[in-house]
């Protein structure tokens, strides 16, 4: 038995066969799934799925890549959604500098500054709500590790973050654990070119990480390049157990316990 702690089940990729995706997940032993919000609409859709399917829970938040589309004050709507019994976290939130506006000819460095400021403002608002409602956070960062860690740090004595889709080295993993937060690993651990992530998995204590698909992205081997779905946590868990040199039972017990503690409302 495993959980998929990070899935985008509200995406149109699943519109055609949603019920079968959930049946396949349950058949593969994936007993709980968290559908992660990337905007207010997406968060709302995640909540609707959680209401309809007992195995699905929701996280609500606004993704940094879509920061420019966010309202100036996200907090009131977010606070409301957090009251829902199946909303287990705020997320995904954070900073993403992977594609900056100035990579396109019509934008300049000043646009990059504005974009980063908007991301930071949005991240801060959502951390404030997390603190208020006492929910942990699912943190997304890409090419922005130092800034994300620095912005999260002042909140780290009160709330935990899970740095999801963790692809950084062991040293950075330790910096996350040092502030009381966690990491989670995706299908990248199964990729031929994923040795750096496997090295980080090997160095991460068994009780300090969770498993996720980040589906529909990042399908593990042998499904690489195809649409990903929660059932594939099975393939991810097999690789992680091998890297950790532990049994699937030990990995299941450790990662499910970590998830239940990190997302207390998963038990409700
Ligand atoms: Zn993400
Ligand atoms: Zn995601």
Instruction: State pLDDT tens for residues 53-86.
Output: 999 999 999 999 999 999 999 999 999 999 999 9
Beta-strand pair 2-7/30-36: parallel
**C-alpha of residue 16 to centroid of ligand 2, in Å:** 21
Backbone CA torsion sign across 232, 19, 60, 215: positive
**C-alpha of residue 37 to centroid of ligand 1, in Å:** 10
pLDDT > 90 fraction of the chain, expressed in percent and rounded: 99
**C-alpha of residue 22 to centroid of ligand 1, in Å:** 21
**C-alpha of residue 52 to centroid of ligand 1, in Å:** 24
**C-alpha of residue 104 to centroid of ligand 1, in Å:** 23
C-alpha torsion angle, residues 242, 246, 251, 257 (rounded to 10): -150
pLDDT of residue 8: 98
**C-alpha of residue 91 to centroid of ligand 2, in Å:** 9
Instruction: State pLDDT tens for residues 99-149.
Output: 999 999 999 999 999 999 999 999 999 999 999 999 999 999 999 999 999
**C-alpha of residue 92 to centroid of ligand 2, in Å:** 7
**C-alpha of residue 140 to centroid of ligand 2, in Å:** 7
| Tokens encoding 19 | 């019920």
């Amino acid at each position: 038995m495993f959980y998929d702690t990070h899935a985008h089940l509200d995406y149109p990729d699943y519109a055609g066969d949603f019920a079968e995706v959930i049946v396949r997940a349950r058949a593969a032993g994936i007993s709980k799934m968290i559908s992660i919000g990337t905007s207010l609409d997406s968060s709302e859709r995640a909540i609707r799925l959680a209401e309809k399917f007992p195995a699905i829970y929701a996280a609500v938040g606004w993704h940094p890549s879509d920061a420019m589309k966010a309202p100036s004050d996200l907090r009131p709507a977010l606070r409301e959604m957090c009251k829902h019994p199946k909303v287990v976290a705020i997320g995904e939130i954070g900073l993403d500098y992977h594609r900056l506006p100035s990579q396109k000819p019509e934008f300049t460095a000043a646009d990059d500054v504005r974009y980063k400021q908007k991301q930071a403002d949005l991240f801060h608002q959502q951390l404030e709500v997390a603190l208020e409602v006492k929910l942990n956070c699912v943190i997304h960062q890409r090419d922005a590790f130092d800034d994300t860690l620095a912005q999260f740090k002042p909140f780290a004595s009160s709330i935990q973050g899970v740095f999801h889709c963790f692809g950084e080295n062991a040293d950075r993993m330790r910096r996350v654990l040092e502030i009381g937060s966690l990491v989670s690993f995706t299908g990248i651990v199964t990729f031929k070119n994923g040795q750096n992530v496997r090295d980080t998995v090997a160095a991460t204590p068994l009780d300090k990480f969770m498993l996720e698909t980040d589906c529909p992205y990042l399908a593990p081997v042998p499904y690489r390049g195809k649409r990903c779905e929660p059932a594939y946590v099975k393939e991810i868990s097999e690789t992680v157990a091998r890297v950790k040199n532990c049994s699937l039972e030990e990995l299941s017990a450790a990662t499910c316990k970590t998830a239940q503690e990190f997302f207390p409302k998963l038990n409700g």
